[in-house]
Amino acid sequence: MDRRHFLNTSLMLGASALFPRAVMAATTGGFYPEVRKAAEANRAADIKRIQDWIALPSIAAENLNMPEGAQYMKALALDAGFDSAEIIPTDGHPGVYAVMDNGAPRTLAVYFMYDVKQFDPAEWSSPPLAGKIVDKPGFGRAIVGRGAVNQKGPEATFLAALHAMRDAGVKPPVNILLVAEGEEEIASPHFQQIVQRPDIMQALKGSEGIFIPASWQDINGGVNVNLGSKGVVELELVASGESWGRGPAADIHSSYKAMVDSPAWRLVQALQSLVTADGNTPAIEGWFENVRPLSAREKELIAEAARSGSEAARKEQLGVARWIDDLPYQQALERLASQPTVNIEGLVAGYTGPGGKTILPGRATAKLDLRLVPNQTRREAETKLRAHLDKRGFSDIEIVVGGGYDPTETAESSAIIQAQLATYRRAGVNATLNPRLAGSWPGAMFTAPPLSLPAGHFGLGHGSGAHAPNEYYVVDSTNPRVAGITDATLGYVDLLYQVAAIG
């Protein structure tokens, strides 16, 4: 396609809110109009792909639809043009590995998860599996459903990019490896078995890095480019009359509290020993001895994020009025990036239905997550938690670890980060470097030895409500600064070209 033909085609197709056409053509070999035309033609099918995927929830915590979820993930990969896709068994739930060999000199890896969080339909204003499209003020029309933004919407949009390129007769400029798991929402207890399979590991070693699709544009169109993520350990602490040797072996009438010990109060006392009196700082012995302070560069990035972001908007989004200790916004962001946490996800003991039920429970359970920062490790955290409880006389409290992994770090100068920044610049999107995502994903499987790959999140578009009721993903944007599904699709196309152009 010569320049004159490209310009004429661009004028016929009209302007887009993101990705000026002349800019996109510079690195797509002039194929941008055809790819956009294909993406626009595929729009209805791309939306339906997300809705259909939402309709099949795979929930690892409930062992729901796990084989079906893996089969569906495999089918999605093959349908998008991967040459091969294989279901990988583990000691837990299976994963999927797919390869697209485009004969390119460079290879890019992408991480998917096909599992989602649990849901209670009574908490949702729209059925969580229906994938209905509703209005979201300030953004446009969005699909509502469990997994809409975490992660099926962004992942399906990446697949939409591959569909659009194939339909336009354009071969992706990089080879693509897809590594998917079905246990991310239970902290990836068996994902390492997939990544460390010799042939998969060898293929990954030859890649430029790995990314997870995302859709984090705020109402002003800005995004964060994360240079790392916190690690996590998910676990339960269990107190029981049986293990303690005190209290009832099963629930008994509450009148006996006058003469019988309570495992529920035992658990409360153990929990309180894990944190300071305000609940905000871990008090586990030795917890901070390996925590690395923020560097001068990390503080500089956080200061810039505080200046460019909206504290009021963030508080409104989270539904909070104050930060811990009434900290100024910049200091609160520093704490978010630098501090490990001990969080109670849930407490379960005795009767929790309507009204009262006068019992003394024989068992109490607390669900916890421990967020870790460099240079902490999962193994260290588990060891120190056990030692802390034992030293304080709580050796009877059982620790049941569900999963977890170490923190991740990726250099600002790495190819995957620079390719992301270039793509955002070309789309006219303000991208702010963020030292560390406070959430977690199993990127440590890739960033740690022996792979030592750069890793990150990338994607245009907007969604919110991960893990919460009414989770959503915007497909029709009425906000000129925020991508809808077609512009988000083109964002992934351009990322592939930016990775291919790495010097």
- Above 90 in pLDDT, residue 488? yes
Q: Same domain, yes or no, for 429 and 453?
A: yes
**Nearest in space to 190 (alpha carbons), one of 370, 399, 402:** 402
d(CA 385, CA 391): 10
H or E stretch covering 211: strand 210-213
Other residues' Cβ atoms within 10 Å of the Cβ of residue 344:
14
CA-CA distance, 362 to 251, in Å (whole number)? 5
Whether the Cβ atoms of residue 225 and residue 424 lie closer than 8 Å to each other: yes
Q: What is the pLDDT of residues 142-192, one digit of tens each?
A: 999 999 999 999 999 999 999 999 999 999 999 999 999 999 999 999 999
Decide if 318 is inside a domain.
no
- Residue 28 has a pLDDT of 65
Say yes or no to pLDDT of 12 above 80: no
Q: What is the pLDDT of residue 29?
A: 62
* 299 in any annotated domain: no
Which one-letter amino acid corresponds to residue 369?
D
Instruction: Evaluate if residue 4 carries a pLDDT over 90.
Output: no
pLDDT for res 9: 33
Q: Who contacts 36 (Cβ-Cβ below 8 Å, separation ≥6)?
A: 13, 16, 164, 486, 490
Angle of helix 43-54 relative to helix 153-167, nearest 10 degrees, comes to 140
Task: Please say which residue of 381, 405, 429 terminates a domain.
Answer: 405
Q: Is 224 in the same domain as 243?
A: no
Among residues 355, 390, 405, the one where a domain terminates is: 405
For residues 345 and 203, state if they share a domain: no
Q: What is the pLDDT of residue 26?
A: 58
What's the rounded mean pLDDT across residues 357-386? 97
CB 371 within 8 A of CB 328: no
Q: What is the 3-state secondary structure (H, E, C) of 279-314?
A: CCCECCCCCCCCCCCCCHHHHHHHHHHHHHCCHHHH
Alpha carbon dihedral 257, 260, 261, 265, in 10-degree steps, equals -20
pLDDT in tens, 390-446: 999 999 999 999 999 999 999 999 999 999 999 999 999 999 999 999 999 999 999
Mean pLDDT is lowest, of 5-9, 112-116, 311-315, for 5-9
**pLDDT tens-digit series, residues 51-66:** 999 999 999 999 999 9
Q: Quick one: 135 exposed, middle or buried, by C-beta within 10 A (0-12, 13-18, 19+)?
A: exposed
CB atoms within 10 A of CB 242: 15
* Residues 100-131 pLDDT 10s: 999 999 999 999 999 999 999 999 999 999 99
* Structure-block tokens of residue 277: 């009196």
The answer to whether position 453 is within a domain reads yes
Token couple for 394:
């709580």
CATH of the domain at 238: 3.30.70.360
For residue 308, being part of any structural domain is answered with no
> Tokens 């920044």 map to which residue?
421
Taking the CA atoms of 492, 470, 434 and 203 in sequence, report the sign of the dihedral they define. negative
The set of residues, in sequence order, having a beta carbon less than 8 Å from that of 472 and lying 6+ positions away, is 134, 136, 142, 143, 144, 145, 148, 149, 463, 464, 465
215-250, pLDDT tens digit by residue? 989 999 999 999 999 999 999 999 999 999 999 999
Same domain, 386 and 448: no
Q: Quick one: 100 and 195 in the same domain?
A: yes
Whether 300 maps to a domain, the answer reads no
- Are residues 171 and 187 both part of a single domain? yes
- Which of 356, 384, 405 represents a domain boundary (last residue)? 405
Same domain, 104 and 27: yes
Is residue 151 included in any domain, yes or no?
Answer: yes
Task: Let me know if residue 73 belongs to a domain.
Answer: yes
Q: For residues 428 and 227, is the Cβ–Cβ distance under 8 A?
A: no
Structural domain boundaries enclosing 17: 3-228+410-500
Average pLDDT, the chain: 93
What's the CATH code of the domain at 61? 3.40.630.10
Residue 1 has pLDDT above 50, yes or no: no
pLDDT, position 309: 86
Whether residues 459 and 472 share a domain: the answer is: yes
Q: Return the half-sphere exposure (C-beta side, CA atoms, 13 A cut-off) of residue 85.
A: 20
Answer yes or no: do 146 and 262 share one domain: no
Answer whether residue 271 is part of any domain. Answer: yes
Structure tokens of 498? 């930016």
Pair 346, 479 in one domain: no
DSSP assignment letter at 116: -
Q: Are 48 and 156 in contact (CB under 8 A)?
A: no
Tell me, yes or no, whether 159 and 214 share the same domain. Answer: yes
Task: Say how many domains are in the chain.
Answer: 2
Amino acid identity of 195? V
Whether residue 322 is predicted with pLDDT greater than 90 in this model: the reply is yes
**According to the model, what pLDDT value does residue 6 have?**
26
255 and 368 belong to one structural domain:
yes
